[in-house]
């Protein structure tokens, strides 16, 4: 059966949203508790993600966070390496690589990130929804509880659920803050008087409120109405994109099963189990829809049905529109190859930049607007300014030496001492015998030493008087 015929079976589904009633109000979704192999895999994967989300801010190396995204102070720590304002080109490239990988991943595998790795789905489906199932029961019990009068039992269940939800929202908000300000600062916000941390305390309250609102009420609206990534699906996916798909070739014409008659219909018995488990309230048999977050609950539900009626699993499965239409398997398209090449190039440049990144950034410039200065004993000098950026957590003492020519370096001011993650600007004079100069511009190699160990040579020039030919 061709898609056109499918459309005629479900005429009108593209004109409505599964989460909106005919009068425009919200249609509350009560998805059935999912179970099956994909749900089990998602559970394991979600546990790993939750451990990462909650555990990473606690991990420290030599007393410093392993990961930190301090957008307020523009300080980022990735895998123990500090990135500051001076590293924005690396961060920008990292962001581009991340965006391209998302585009590539979406072009090939659709919205699988949403169902499996997005924090919104992980928290909602694997934490909050499970607590709801535990307190209020499966979908039918939840529905009945919501329309039941406010008895003591209902009040108890609702209060228990809301207080657990709010406590979890506070925990998530604190974790979120820990990723931004670090656990030490977070601990101060929690333990010290509120008046000392009004900003942090307000942020914690706002985040807690927002998370509670999203997970207790807003839920699938975030994916369907708000998420910009969800909006982009239409332009990122094509007919070769692997999505959660209903095999209409196999399934249609659908129809109830009748054990007394020989079946001349397709494999879909129109049981609507796939619809009952859908957290966004759609019928996957209508084709790929914007609301689908690729959570795979409908695959599990349909596989159970197929097992029961002795038909092969996979009536609903991971497949592209073309895979279903032509009964083919996944294949690489020109677009996928193109995206992969771009992504590989960006990643290569990113890794090279990180590998070549020096712990101390050095810029040496001859003082602008100045030529050479005459000094006693037939010597001349040039004035230089040097900017040093310490990208480490350590205090660093720096020495400088001339590497390619005899001469003296005189630092103006005190020794060069760099504070952790700090920028230092120093001026110094290079003094040389006139007799050593053979040209107006003499190339200089300045060696930079950290604790007696040379970690780099930086080029500049020494300006002298015009030479006699």
Give which of 465, 451, 368, 376 is closest to 416, Cα–Cα. 451
Give which of 385, 408, 389 is closest to 450, Cα–Cα. 389
Q: Which of 7, 185, 270, 422 binds ligand SF4 (CB under 6 A)?
A: 270
Whether 409 and 429 have beta carbons less than 8 Å apart is answered as yes
177 binds ligand SF4 (CB under 6 A): no
Q: Which of 271, 354, 402, 457 binds ligand SF4 (CB under 6 A)?
A: 271
- Of the pair 145, 276, the CB lying nearest ligand SF4 is at 276
- Of the pair 77, 277, the CB lying nearest ligand SF4 is at 277
Give the span between the Cα atoms of 454 and 400, in whole angstroms.
9
Whether 203 and 179 have beta carbons less than 8 Å apart is answered as no
Interface stretch with ligand SF4, choices 136-144, 179-187, 289-297, 458-466 (CB under 6 A) = 289-297
Whether 230 and 114 have beta carbons less than 8 Å apart is answered as yes
**Structure token pair of residue 424:** 């230092």
294 binds ligand SF4 (CB under 6 A): yes
Q: Quick one: how far is CA 66 from the chain centroid?
A: 16
Residues 6+ apart with CB under 8 A from 91: 76, 83
301 binds ligand SF4 (CB under 6 A): yes
305 binds ligand SF4 (CB under 6 A): yes
The b-or-e profile of 265-285 (16+ CB within 10 A means b, else e) is bbbbbebebbbbbbbbbbbbb
- Of the pair 111, 197, the CB lying nearest ligand SF4 is at 111
Chain residues 58-77 in contact with ligand SF4, contact rule CB under 6 A: none
Within 13 A of 328's CA, how many CA atoms are on the CB side? Answer: 13
Q: Which of 90, 284, 346, 388 binds ligand SF4 (CB under 6 A)?
A: 284
- CB-count burial class (<10 Å; 0-12, 13-18, 19+) for 359: middle
Q: Which of 82, 90, 293, 432 binds ligand SF4 (CB under 6 A)?
A: 293
Nearest distance from C-beta of residue 255 to ligand SF4, angstroms: 10
Q: Which of 6, 204, 297, 444 binds ligand SF4 (CB under 6 A)?
A: 297
Q: Which of 106, 169, 242, 280 binds ligand SF4 (CB under 6 A)?
A: 280
Q: Which of 224, 302, 343, 346 binds ligand SF4 (CB under 6 A)?
A: 302
- Of the pair 240, 296, the CB lying nearest ligand SF4 is at 296
- Of the pair 97, 284, the CB lying nearest ligand SF4 is at 284
Give the span between the Cα atoms of 18 and 22, in whole angstroms.
10
List, in sequence order, every residue forming a beta bridge with 430; answer none if it has no partner.
382, 409
Q: Which of 245, 295, 388, 446 binds ligand SF4 (CB under 6 A)?
A: 295
285 binds ligand SF4 (CB under 6 A): yes
Nearest distance from C-beta of residue 123 to ligand SF4, angstroms: 16
298 binds ligand SF4 (CB under 6 A): yes
Rounded (10°) CA dihedral 193, 196, 199, 203? -20
What values do phi and psi take at 127, rounded to 5?
-120, -65
Angstrom CA distances, 319 to 100, 246, 440, stand at 22, 8, 71
Count of residues touching ligand SF4 (by CB under 6 A): 29
Give the span between the Cα atoms of 431 and 422, in whole angstroms.
29
Give the span between the Cα atoms of 400 and 360, in whole angstroms.
13
97 binds ligand SF4 (CB under 6 A): no
Q: Which of 108, 277, 343, 418 binds ligand SF4 (CB under 6 A)?
A: 277
Chain residues 315-334 in contact with ligand SF4, contact rule CB under 6 A: 315-316
Nearest distance from C-beta of residue 10 to ligand SF4, angstroms: 12
Interface stretch with ligand SF4, choices 186-194, 298-306, 340-348, 436-444 (CB under 6 A) = 298-306
DSSP annotation string for 169-228: HHHHHHHHHHHHH-HHHHHHHHHS-GGGGHHHHHHHHHHHHHHHHIIIIITHHIIIII-H
112 binds ligand SF4 (CB under 6 A): no
Chain residues 204-263 in contact with ligand SF4, contact rule CB under 6 A: 244, 246, 251
Q: What is the DSSP letter of 35?
A: -
Nearest distance from C-beta of residue 327 to ligand SF4, angstroms: 18
Interface stretch with ligand SF4, choices 53-61, 265-273, 359-367, 437-445 (CB under 6 A) = 265-273
Nearest distance from C-beta of residue 200 to ligand SF4, angstroms: 37
Binding site for ligand SF4 (CB under 6 A): 244, 246, 251, 268-274, 277-280, 282, 284-285, 292-298, 301-302, 305, 315-316
């Amino acid at each position: 059966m061709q898609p056109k015929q499918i459309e005629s079976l479900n005429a009108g589904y593209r004109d409505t949203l599964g989460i909106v009633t005919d009068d425009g109000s919200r249609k509350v979704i009560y998805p059935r508790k999912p179970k099956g192999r994909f749900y089990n895999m998602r559970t394991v994967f979600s546990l790993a993600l939750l451990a990462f989300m909650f555990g990473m801010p606690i991990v420290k190396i030599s007393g410093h966070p392993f990961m930190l995204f301090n957008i307020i102070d523009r300080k980022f720590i990735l895998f123990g390496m500090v990135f500051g304002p001076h590293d924005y080109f690396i961060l920008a490239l990292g962001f581009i690589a991340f965006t391209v990988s998302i585009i590539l991943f979406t072009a090939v595998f659709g919205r699988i990130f949403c169902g499996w790795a997005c924090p919104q789905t992980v928290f909602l489906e694997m934490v909050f929804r499970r607590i709801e199932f535990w307190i209020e029961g499966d979908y039918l019990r939840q529905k009945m509880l919501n329309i039941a009068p406010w008895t003591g039992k209902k009040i108890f269940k609702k209060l228990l659920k809301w207080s657990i939800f709010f406590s979890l929202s506070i925990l998530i908000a604190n974790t979120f803050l820990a990723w931004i300000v670090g656990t030490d600062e977070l601990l101060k916000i929690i333990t010290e008087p509120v008046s000392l941390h009004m900003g942090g305390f307000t942020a914690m309250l706002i985040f807690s409120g927002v998370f509670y609102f999203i997970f207790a009420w807003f839920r699938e609206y975030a994916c369907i109405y708000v998420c910009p990534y969800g909006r982009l699906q239409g332009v990122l996916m094509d007919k070769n994109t692997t999505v959660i798909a209903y095999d209409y070739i196999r399934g249609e014409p659908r129809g109830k099963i009748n054990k007394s008659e020989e079946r001349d219909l397709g494999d879909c018995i129109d049981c609507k189990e796939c619809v009952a488990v859908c957290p966004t309230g759609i019928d996957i048999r209508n084709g790929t829809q914007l609301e689908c977050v690729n959570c795979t609950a409908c695959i599990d539900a349909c596989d159970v049905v197929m097992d029961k009626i002795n038909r092969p699993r996979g009536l609903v499965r991971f497949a592209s529109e073309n895979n279903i239409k032509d009964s083919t398997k996944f294949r690489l398209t020109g677009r996928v190859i193109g995206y992969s090449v771009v992504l590989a190039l960006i990643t290569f440049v990113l890794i090279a930049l990180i590998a070549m990144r020096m712990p101390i950034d050095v810029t040496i410039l001859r003082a602008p607007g100045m030529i050479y200065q005459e000094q006693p004993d037939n010597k001349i000098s040039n004035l230089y300014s040097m900017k040093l950026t310490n990208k480490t957590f350590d205090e660093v003492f720096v020495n400088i030496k001339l590497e390619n020519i005899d001469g003296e370096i005189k630092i103006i001011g005190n020794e060069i001492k760099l504070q952790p993650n700090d920028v230092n600007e120093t001026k110094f004079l290079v003094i040389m015998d006139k007799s050593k100069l053979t040209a107006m511009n003499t190339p200089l190699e300045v060696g930079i030493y950290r604790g007696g160990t040379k970690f780099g040579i930086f080029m500049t020039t020494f300006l002298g008087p015009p030479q006699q030919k």
